[in-house]
Amino acid sequence: MGAFHGLLGLSGGQLAGVIAIAIFTLCIYRRYLSPISHVPGPFVASFTRLWHIHRILKGDQNLELIRLHDKHGHLVRIAPNEISLSHPSAIKKILSAPLHKGPWYKVIAFPDGRFQSPMGATDPAIKNELSRHLSAAYTLPNLLRSEDGIDATLSRLFTWFDRFSTQKKAIELADWFTFATSDVIGEVIFSKPMGFLEAGKDIDNTIANSHAQAAYVSIAGFFRWVHVALLSNRFVTWLGIAPWGHLINTAMSAIKERMDRPDVERVDALGHWLRMLESTRSFDGKLGSGKARMEEHEVRSAAFGAIAAGNETVAAGLQAFVYYMIRCPGAWERARKEVDEVLGGEGGEGGPGGVVSYASAQKMVYLQACIKEALRIFGPASMGLPRVVGKGGMTFDEYTIPEGVIVSVNIWVMHHSKEIWGEDAREFNPDRWFRPNAASLEKYFIPWGAGYSSCPGPNIAKIELSKICATLVRDYEFDQVDPKQEWSWKAYFTAVPGGWPVYVKKRGHH
């Protein structure tokens, strides 16, 4: 350090002064001279990302953004080079446009930072090609080929619920819904449930640890170089010491087992991916050209992505359905009447039976409206979706946003916009989906994102939500241990609630 001081001809105190002046100058530029300095927002956010990180760690970034947009309007500056948008056209102009994703996404890489995944790729051309390698597995007809396996998995959940009803035992739905969605993902991806419902407990604290992992990823995206240095590098991969946990270890084991037995034919997602892997072996194009071969790491990355993104998000949606329905007078009874009518009209029983089929659940229009409203009022994804403004910039209201600025759309902000949804935007009201303007609102309903980088698995979520919610309404009732107790949650990249224990009652058992 002394040699460095001597090279500059400065003492330690002088060097500290130079650094302080440089930081102060940078802050002044960002706050008052930046091309987006005129955009309103928190004072601290104008010169540092720390304001945003503080709100993420506090767990209320979604609610704070709603408050700020209520105060400032369509544009809110949340970082030196990022603007949050709530303009009704933001979904179309930002998410549905072929803009590069913000650099935050690069943190999503498996097994380490050397590889690109559909979610982590920021170039639309590369992201789209990676997605094409995987997309056949996510079509609704292909997923429904696993419906018998899904039913067998969900039957284990409802067997537990029957037991809890008899025992009059209070449970946390957060745990049991996550056990179920994790097992369903395993069944859909590689025909092997994760084992949570069989064990009836959290295995190796996988679910308990997921909240800390979610907080880490939410922050690590802004400091990717630290993440790569600590975890996401080839040395850690080579040593095999990455802390993936039970879910990923089970997935990687299932993939290795299948790769070691290429003669095994399955209709699950892994089967589709392995066939795509084989069919593209002769391709030699550059990634993003449309003719790049699929690589083995893409199969592992796809399984990682499906598991990481597909269990707690759907579980949160299931919780939201029950939580808001039991607080909405008459909603559960109205939905049950519809379920009974649909199943009775098909020649089935109105009372308890097997898991409701996806096809039958789609005929239950009020039930589907309740599911949509639960996802609108409590979207599982609570962090903004950032994109980079392209050449020519873009204009919202009187503001022109220059090229290179990050613009983000927060799903909660859009779903709670009174400008879009009306004065009751922040109330749970399934009947809004039967109003004359309901069709025009569909373009603002984005629980799984929108555009080229939307969630690849919404069909899995639709199947799970439809089947589970229909069966719950038909066969069970839920009473909170403390009806006045509100649930709690932290809004990291996703918002997963908990802390509202309930009693499960089997229909007809009081």
DSSP 417-464: -HHHH-TTTTS--GGGGGSTTHHHHGGG--TT--GGGS-S-HHHHHHH
Strand partners of residue 381: 494
Residues with Cβ within 8 Å of 207's Cβ and at least 6 positions away in sequence, in order, are 175, 178, 179, 182, 196, 312
User: Is 455 flagged in the annotation as binding?
Assistant: yes
Query: Residue 274 is encoded by which pair of tokens?
Result: 């392995």
Q: Are 442 and 420 in contact (CB under 8 A)?
A: no
Strand partners of residue 506: 476
Q: For the chain, what is the total number of helices (H) and then of strands (E)?
A: 24, 9
Q: Are 383 and 101 in contact (CB under 8 A)?
A: no
**What angle do helix axes 269-279 and 246-259 make, rounded to 10 degrees?**
50
Q: Are 403 and 354 in contact (CB under 8 A)?
A: no
Angle at 12 between CA 10 and CA 15, to 5 degrees: 60
Question: For strand 406-409 and strand 82-85, is the pairing parallel, antiparallel, or unpaired?
Answer: parallel
Query: Residue 59 is encoded by which pair of tokens?
Result: 């767990």
Sort 36 into a burial class: Cβ within 10 Å, 0-12 / 13-18 / 19+: buried
Give the residue ranges of the annotated binding site for heme. 455
Give the residue ranges of the annotated binding site. 455
